[in-house]
């Protein structure tokens, strides 16, 4: 039989795990933890894809030619506020 690692949780986390198990949505704490890890894996994959896309966009921008002067964030905010 495989040994499961012991993972310390706070009282609040244990309460949430117990609530989810009592609700019938999960059969045990390990199912709750597995679902949480699946969500974390998905979030990490989306974050990695976002970073990769931003790196590609930066590279494309740098390759597009020389830089040009742009407004500062303060100037853009002031312009926005004048419009509303």
Number of domains in the chain: 1
Q: Is residue 44 part of a domain?
A: yes
**Tell me, what's the pLDDT at 3?**
80
* 70 part of a folded domain: no
Domain assignment present for 24:
yes
pLDDT tens digits, the chain, 84 residues: what are they? 578 889 899 999 999 999 999 999 999 999 999 999 999 999 999 999 999 999 999 999 999 998 888 899 999 999 999 998
At 38-55, the pLDDT tens digits run 999 999 999 999 999 999
CB-side neighbour CA atoms (13 Å) of 78: 5
Indicate the length of the chain as a whole number.
84
The answer to the question of residue 16 being in a domain is yes
The parent domain of residue 21 ranges over: 9-62
Quick check: 9 and 17 in contact, CB under 8 A?
yes
- pLDDT attached to residue 56: 97
Distance in angstroms (rounded) separating the CA atoms of residues 74 and 42? 36
Q: Tokens representing 19?
A: 């609530």
Whole-model pTM above 0.75?
A: no
């Amino acid at each position: 039989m495989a040994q499961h690692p012991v993972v310390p949780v706070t009282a609040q986390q244990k309460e949430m795990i117990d609530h989810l198990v009592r609700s019938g949505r999960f059969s045990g704490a390990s199912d709750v933890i597995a679902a949480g890890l699946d969500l974390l894996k998905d979030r990490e994959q989306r974050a990695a894809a976002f970073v990769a896309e931003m790196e590609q966009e930066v590279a494309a921008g740098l390759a597009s030619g020389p830089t040009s002067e742009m407004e500062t964030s303060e100037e853009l905010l002031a312009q926005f506020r004048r419009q509303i």
